[in-house]
Each structure stands twice: as C-alpha cells, then as structure tokens.
Structure 1
Amino acid sequence: MSGIYLFGLAARQADWLTNRQTVVAENVANADTPGFRAKDVKSFSETLETTRLQMAGTDRMHLAAAAGRAGGVEERAADRWDVTHSGNTVSLEQEMLKSGEIARDYALNTSITKAFHRMFLTTIRG
C-alpha cells in the first residue's frame, strides 16, 4: 500500500497540520508574553513544492510515489492584525480562527483517506 500516492499525500498533510497546530498552540500559550512574535508555518502547497514529490513510473502502466518524507516544516512570521503596547503580536481571535481551520482540514483529510481506503479494499475484495 505504500505505493499509493494519495495515502502518502494524506500522511504528509496530517504531519503538516500537526506542526501547524503546535505553532498555533505556542502562539496562544504566549499571548501575554511581552515582545513575543507570533509565528505560522508555510502553506501546505509551498511545503509540498519543496518536498519534491514526484511520480515515477515503475511500469509503463503503473505510477508510484517517490520515496522520502518531508524533513520539517519551515516557520515564518505570521501576518498580524494588531500589535499591543508590550510588543506582543498574538491575536487570540486570529489564532482561534486558525485552530478551527486546522480542525476542518484534519476532518477533510480523514474523510478522504477513509473513502479512498474503503474504495481500495472494495477493489481488492472484488
């Protein structure tokens, strides 16, 4: 099953979502820390472009995913709504919106993977 491109892509997105949720949680935890600069991660599409996922033909009738996984997710300074007088750039409202977006992306990722897995098992069972 490791040759199925969708499973590898879903796993990479889940890893990216985990890293993004960690960064959002760190931002929320430091919301009252003077001088703390909020962070975010590069978008998944930018991250995917740097991992160089390439399709490789093992047979002229088959395709397989290239081996290897993304090493890490690069952090960047987040776009901020406001900066407080203490120099802190964390906006709790913005972080909560990001958290909701991450939860929706996890749910979509899981749903697509489950559907593909059921379809895959159906084709195997005949």
Structure 2
Amino acid sequence: MMSRLDDLMGFHKTAIDLRSQRQSVLASNIANADTPNYKARDMNFGEALRGAVQGRAGQPLALATSAPRHIAMSGMVTSANLQYRPEMQSSVDGNTVDMDTERAAMAENSLQYEASLSFINGLLKSMQTAVSGQNG
C-alpha cells in the first residue's frame, strides 16, 4: 500500500516539477517578446513526463568517449529537452514569440499544475481520513 502511495505521489511530484519548468520557459518567452532574433522555446510535456516516469530523468548521461584521455561526464539529466517552437508568423526582427500562443500555453499549464496540486491534496485528505478512522 505504501509503495503504491509513493508511486502516486512521485508521479504527481514529477508532473508538478515539469509543469514548473515549463512555466519558467513560457515566462521567458513572454519576457523576450521584443528581443530581436529571440526564438521561442517550449517542451513536449508528454514526452518529458514519460521519460521521467520511465526513469531516464535523474540518471547519469551516457557519453561516448573516443579517446582514453577523455573525461567522463558526472552530470545528471534533471530537466526536459527544450525545443524551438515553430514560427507562427514571420517578424522583421526574427523574433518567433507569438503572445497569443504563449498566453494560451501558460494558462493551460497553470490549470494543469493546479489540477495536480488538487489531486495530491485530495489524496492526502483521504489518507488522513482513513488513518483517523472518520467517515466523511
């Protein structure tokens, strides 16, 4: 029972962490809306979550070395791969930020972040009720 609870909580913690990272990326896009040649970035949330759940996040990066004197990498994969968002409308200064797209993505991400928090709160309340032996 505890491992199942840990799995559920771990899944939602991972989802919340990734949502937080995505919110930062979207905020950065909005902050750079007037920066010449800035390219809007985003992450594929589903792909990042699948990678984290399958255990690729937090695992050592495996780098190929072609010579014995190459130094081994000791870093960990902690965040999702950022991708450049395709240009929706061309601009004279080369900036690819579309404010409507950014606002919509930020609103959607915020709602899903809140949904994950609500699910965790509900799960904790039901566990507290079960432990204390009260109904309703």
The CA distance in 2 between the partners of 1:80 and 1:110, in whole Å, is 33
Q: Does 1:50 align with 2:51?
A: yes
Structure 2 match to 1:22: 24
Aligned to 2:62: none
* Cα displacement (A) at 1:2: 7.5
**2:48 is aligned with 1:41:** no
Residues 2-51 of structure 1, C-alpha deviations (whole Å, 9 max, x = no match): 732111111111110111011011111111111111000122x2112222
Paired residues in the alignment total 112
Identity %: 27
Match of 1:31 among 17, 30, 33: 33
1:61 aligns with none
| Contact 1:31–1:92 (Cα < 8 Å) also in 2 | yes
Who wins on radius of gyration, i.e. which is larger?
2
CA distance in 1, matches of 2:117, 2:130: 20
Q: SS of 2:109's equivalent? A: helix
Match of 1:97 in 2: 104
**For 2:127, which of 96, 120, 125 is the aligned residue?**
120
State how far apart, in whole Å, the 1-side matches of 2:106 and 2:50 are.
24
Aligned residue among 11, 14, 17 for 2:13: 11
- 1:61-119 deviations in Å (ceiling 9; x for gaps): xxxxxxx6862111001133212111110011111111111111111111111111111
Unmatched tracts of structure 1, length 5 or more: 55-67
Q: Which has the higher strand share?
A: 1
Q: Read off the aligned partner of 2:103 and give its amino acid letter.
A: M
Taking structure 1 as the reference length, the TM-score comes to 0.79
Contact 2:26 2:106 survives alignment (8 Å): yes
The AA in structure 1 aligned to 2:92 is H
TM-score, normalised to structure 2, is 0.73
Contact 1:2/1:8 (CA < 8 Å) preserved in 2?
no
Instruction: Specify the code of the residue in structure 2 equivalent to 1:108.
Output: A
Preserved contact between residue 83 and residue 90 of structure 1 (Cα < 8 Å): no
- Alignment-derived partner of residue 71 in structure 2: none
